[in-house]
Amino acid sequence: VGKDGTRVFDLRMQAGEKEFEDGRRTPTWGFNGDYLGPTLRAKRGEKVAVRIANGLGEASTVHWHGMHLPAAMDGGPHQMVEPGGTWTPRWTIDQPASTLWYHPHPHGATEKHVQRGLAGMFLLDDEKSAALDLPDEYGVNDMPVIVQDVRFDGAKFDHGHGLMQNTGFLGDRTMVNGTLDPYMEVGDELVRLRLLNASTARVYDFGFSDGRAFALIGTDGGLLEAPARMDRLQLSPGERAEIVVRMKPGERTVLRSFPQDNYGDAWQRRFGGGDDSFDVLELRAKQSLRDSPELPSQLGELEVPDGTDSAKERFFGLEMSGINGRPMDMGRIDEVVTRGTAETWTVRNDDGMPHNFHVHDVQFRVLEVDGERPPPELRGAKDTVFVPGGTTVKLAMRFDGPADPDTPYMYHCHLLYHEDGGMMGQFVVV
């Protein structure tokens, strides 16, 4: 923490080499290390500054996914950091406690930079959530779970796309926090998992091997109003969820990803990964567990608008070739939004291929999925939502940051091969 109270972080993008437990080694990129990056953490109201140094041989950026902040600090494709260069974005944390993340966003090369290992979590805290009786000891009963799929070619990562894979890169095994075949020792009756789908294209449908239910307590942008009990939870690339799992002494269970029924047609399920299943993370409870208090029945208050005061409606048609029929153009502003207003955005996927939709700077409320009330995992604050082929979602969001007519924010498909290929647009707040 600096003299004026600013919390300062240092992140250096660097090339390295990752060594696995079984001795194989692969070239990787990481922040301050060989693979992934440190978990950053700050409180609501706090001023933060991140000193970024680019130690790579090529230009990149660092984007704060889910963060409400001025467009010039966003780390999108207009804030490139040259090799050997530095960049120090500063902003004030002004949103609820949540599980956010950071990753590069260079136009046309985001998939490559993320899958080489550039990603990390950015956790936000606030007073209201700190006062709740939730598991909150980081690394003890409150665990980051960064899920990525990988494939090996001998000892090395193979980043190539399969012939039929128009969704982008799909791996044939998963890692958690950069570890293959991971397990986690649990020492408390209740363990909180902060799930982040940091894969570049793969959608997961999480559940447990023994079918046990868990409590969903938070989505992308923070805590739900109340815990929701469920046994399956779908997360597309970029989405997060906080779940709480109850364990008995000595017990083991496996967090698994199951085949998904809403993924698309038979072709997409087969070649786009919708039929795949993975053992993601084994939980091993100790022989004696610390008691955990019951989960509170009320958690947070949603700060996302409910659509009733929307000043404008917009429509976004998703196609692999571009959004609303236009591929991304760095020099074109697609939408102009008025500062301080709420809007309703309708997003439709008619493409027959799975896509999702992410909006920078804001958290939104999913008002409807195909005209129906959304399922519990889409009832909290969201910044990314899965939009399977043939689906329409309606989103309500408020733009209350500072105006900047010259610097755009992005909206895009977070399947990074699609984003790189032009499924992205730009908006400014004026």
Question: Which positions lie near Cu ion, rule CB under 5 A?
Answer: 65, 355, 360, 413, 415, 418
Q: What is the DSSP string of 7-53?
A: EEEEEEEEEEEEE-TTS-EEEEEEESSSSB-PPEEEETT-EEEEEEE
Backbone phi, then psi, for 169, in 5-degree steps? -65, 135
Residue 365 interacts with, from ligand C2O, Cu ion, none (CB under 5-8 Å by kind): none
Task: Report, in Å, the least distance between residue 226 CB and Cu ion.
Answer: 27
CB 378 within 8 Å of CB 365: no
By CB under 6 A, residue 360 contacts ligand C2O: yes
Q: Which is nearer to ligand C2O, 63 or 382 (CB)?
A: 63
Residue 412 interacts with, from Cu ion, ligand C2O, none (CB under 5-8 Å by kind): ligand C2O
By CB under 6 A, residue 120 contacts ligand C2O: no
Tokens of 398: 């408020």
CB within 8 A of 268, min separation 6: which ones?
167, 274, 352, 353, 354, 389
By CB under 6 A, residue 412 contacts ligand C2O: yes
Return the closest-CA partner of residue 413 out of 366, 355, 333, 361.
355
Tokens of 88: 């120090």
Dist. CA 335–CA 153, nearest whole Å: 43
By CB under 6 A, residue 202 contacts ligand C2O: no
Angle at 29 between CA 426 and CA 181, to 5 degrees: 105
Task: Report, in Å, the least distance between residue 358 CB and ligand C2O.
Answer: 5
Measured from each CB, the residue nearest to ligand C2O is 65
Tokens of 64: 């704060």
By CB under 6 A, residue 113 contacts ligand C2O: no
By CB under 6 A, residue 105 contacts ligand C2O: yes
Q: Which of 44, 65, 116, 240 binds ligand C2O (CB under 6 A)?
A: 65
Q: Which of 18, 113, 116, 358 binds ligand C2O (CB under 6 A)?
A: 358
Query: Segment near ligand C2O (CB under 6 A), from 12-20, 254-262, 316-324, 410-418?
Result: 410-418
By CB under 6 A, residue 63 contacts ligand C2O: yes
Residue 418 interacts with, from Cu ion, ligand C2O, none (CB under 5-8 Å by kind): Cu ion
By CB under 6 A, residue 410 contacts ligand C2O: yes
- Radius of gyration (Cα) for the chain, nearest Å? 20
Task: Report, in Å, the least distance between residue 318 CB and Cu ion.
Answer: 7
Pick out residues in 311-350 that bind ligand C2O (CB under 6 A): none
Tokens of 271: 């070649």
Q: Which is nearer to ligand C2O, 355 or 412 (CB)?
A: 412
Residue 256 interacts with, from ligand C2O, Cu ion, none (CB under 5-8 Å by kind): none
Return the closest-CA partner of residue 175 out of 167, 163, 183.
183
Dist. CA 77–CA 42, nearest whole Å: 25
Q: Which residues bind ligand C2O (CB under 6 A)?
A: 63, 65, 103, 105, 238, 358, 360, 410, 412, 414
